[in-house]
Amino acid sequence: DTGVSQDPRHKITKRGQNVTFRCDPISEHNRLYWYRQTLGQGPEFLTYFQNEAQLEKSRLLSDRFSAERPKGSFSTLEIQRTEQGDSAMYLCASSSGGSHYGYTFGSGTRLTVV
Amino acid sequence: AQTVTQSQPEMSVQEAETVTLSCTYDTSESDYYLFWYKQPPSRQMILVIRQEAYKQQNATENRFSVNFQKAAKSFSLKISDSQLGDAAMYFCAYRSEDWSGANSKLTFGKGITLSVRP
């Protein structure tokens, strides 16, 4: 197991286009989280899955954002009609449940909207 | 809602010296977990150390230790014998104690940039 994988590493898109990111968690982890991080700031929670169920969504997740985790394995995060304010690093993390564990993070997808 | 505050945006330490990074948090819960994460320039977050709120003993991991003051809601990280590889952003994070998983997200502070002088 090579950890949490995110694809692509970098994405440059024009304003108004749709983009989709993928996250492959550690295989035995049933919990998956998406965070957004802007330069010089801490990660901000977006949404969380336990298996295939989306259990929590942040108010930051506008109607243009949607996330899925079919079959409880990999997850996708889609942003429709991108805006310049969407430019950020999108981080995925997974955990095996049990509140005393921290997360394992992926390397992130850097989105630049031009 | 829980909040995590890291009021020092930057710190610098001489190699081989000791440095302490501060963190305070606000919560009405009695059981929770606290974490310090390191984010090197490569951007992947790495867990440094964690502390369970119900434990009075401060956590220690090699050169990293914490000073957990529950009443003061303070959770500082001490790095001993600082090394050049310790240079990174450090984030303090909070997590509720929720076995159901309904509230298991991490809440992060804004982070502190640590530089290590050779």
Query: So what's the pLDDT on residue A100?
Result: 61
| Structural element, H or E, at residue B38 | strand B32-39
Query: So what's the pLDDT on residue A102?
Result: 73
Which residues in chain A (15-54) have CB-CB distances under 8 A to chain B? 31, 33, 40-45, 48, 50
Query: Which residue numbers in chain A have pLDDT < 70?
Result: 1, 97-101
Query: So what's the pLDDT on residue A42?
Result: 93
Report the residue of chain A nearest B111, measured CA to CA: A42
Residue B65: CA count within 13 A, CB half-sphere: 9
- pLDDT of chain B along its 118 residues, tens only? 789 999 999 999 999 999 999 999 999 988 889 999 999 987 789 999 999 998 889 999 999 999 999 999 999 999 999 999 999 999 999 988 666 666 678 999 999 999 999 9
CA distance B82 to B62: 12
Asked if B33 lies within 8 A of A99 by C-beta distance, the reply is yes
CB atoms within 10 A of CB A59: 5
Rounded to a whole number of angstroms, the distance between the first and last alpha carbons of chain B is: 41
